[in-house]
Amino acid sequence: MSPASKLLVDIHTHVYLPRYAALLRSRAGAAAVPFIRTNTTPEGLAEDRLLILDHEPSESLTSWSEKLKFMDKHGIDVSVVSTANPWLDFLPASQAHTLAAELNDDLEQYCSTGPSVSSSTQIKRLYGFGLLPLVPEITTSALLEIVNQISTLPHLRGLIMGTRGIGNGLDDEALEPVWAAIEKAGLVVFLHPHYGVDGSAWGDKDNGHVLPLALGFPFETTTVSSKYHFSFRIRPQREMKAATRLILSGVFDKFPNLRLLLAHSGGALPALSSRLASCIDHDPAVASRLKHDARYYLGKLYLDAVTYGPEELGFVSDVISRSAGYASVASVSKVANRSTGSKRMLFGTDHPFFPPLSATEKWKSVTENLEAIASVQGWSKGDKDGVRGRNALALFNLQG
């Protein structure tokens, strides 16, 4: 077994728990996604097809027990698993509340009864992100109750959430007690897209789901949008406000110890952060709202390393490391130190999404991300080991 400092830890990996899959199966005849429909294959076998996004080719449903097999095949020691999109977003408040509590218990049960990494460590192979019932009309007390539940389940180390909040996005003041409770409990928030952005930008050509996934998902993470219609291609019901809406709302000034992990390396935010800072500086409505230059807040974030390329990883780590130089106007050094930025980046696979189109021994979506980490110019061996696993052990407090 590798020593703890060499463990490979996957922090972006999803599951559809049996209870959740049963709910989707019960919606087989529903007019709108999400649902699971059982098809018959040409060989006459029953096959579950999962549809979570309008117009998207359906994904194969990966069974819960396949997770460990997938990990073994790719040498992944530990996974911090999360329920995949669209979480509980489509449910009425009371059902979302009950189901969140049940699914959190289910996930704890699975992780706690799963194997350990080895007989000489107490580090388990599975940990999880819980779910909050973030839907319109949910009460603050219900949300706080579930934050508290997650914080008492030892194998749940955070929670995953989409970008809608309780209907008005994540910069909604109504969420402030929730951020406060999450910060106090020390839980990591994994912020993940589902709705994409205005589908009319994708044009009329059939490009499969390349544009919504390659651009729409990361743009959604960048903007932290809200009130998008469930479809990839239907116009949003309301124009999105600004990106980075969480930064603009001052969440990190109010909750400086909030630990936010962004999917897909933060989307376009690293590339746009200096432009964002400049726009803030030149806008009378917000110029004096934040305590720091916008670039400072990027250093508060954690980002998955799901970029598939070493140049992108290097660039993102430069931007993250540079943020310390923006702590105050008087800061002396704004020089990027790639190594410092790497400490906030964590390996992920996005399993069960992006399966290979034809049978291969290993998934390219996994090997490409591992090769990217191995090839970043300016990252030391220690930095790379950090991104592969040690950073996750520290962030999620996983100890042997």
Angle, in degrees to the nearest 10, between helices 93-113 and 18-26: 140
CB of 165 or CB of 348, closer to ligand 5CU: 348
Q: Residue from 9, 36, 81, 84 that binds ligand 5CU (CB under 6 A)?
A: 84
Is residue 10 involved in binding ligand 5CU (CB under 6 A)? no
| CA neighbor of 375 nearest in space, from 313, 306, 302, 307 | 313
Is residue 350 involved in binding ligand 5CU (CB under 6 A)? yes
CA 222, CA 211: separation in Å to the nearest integer? 15
Say how far residue 263 (Cα) sits from the centre of its chain: 4
The residue type of 1 is M
Is residue 163 involved in binding ligand 5CU (CB under 6 A)? no
User: Which residues, in sequence order, are bridge partners of residue 303?
Assistant: 262, 345
Shortest Cβ 161–ligand 5CU spacing (Å): 13
Is residue 190 involved in binding ligand 5CU (CB under 6 A)? no
Is residue 353 involved in binding ligand 5CU (CB under 6 A)? yes
Specify whether the CB–CB gap between 348 and 306 falls below 8 A.
yes
User: Which residues, in sequence order, are bridge partners of residue 301?
Assistant: 260
CB of 123 or CB of 373, closer to ligand 5CU: 373
CB of 127 or CB of 232, closer to ligand 5CU: 232
CB of 193 or CB of 299, closer to ligand 5CU: 193
CA 183, CA 159: separation in Å to the nearest integer? 12
Is residue 82 involved in binding ligand 5CU (CB under 6 A)? no
Q: Residue from 11, 33, 52, 61 that binds ligand 5CU (CB under 6 A)?
A: 52
Q: Residue from 70, 190, 217, 297 that binds ligand 5CU (CB under 6 A)?
A: 217
CB of 53 or CB of 251, closer to ligand 5CU: 53
Give the Cβ contact number of residue 259 at 10 Å.
18
Is residue 213 involved in binding ligand 5CU (CB under 6 A)? yes
Binding-site string for ligand 5CU from residue 85 to residue 104, where x marks contact by CB under 6 A and - marks none: x-------------------
Side-chain half-sphere CA neighbours of 18 within 13 A: 7
Contacts of 327 (CB under 8 A, 6+ apart): 292, 296
DSSP conformation class of 115? P
Residues that bind ligand 5CU (CB under 6 A): 14, 52-53, 84-85, 213, 217, 350, 353
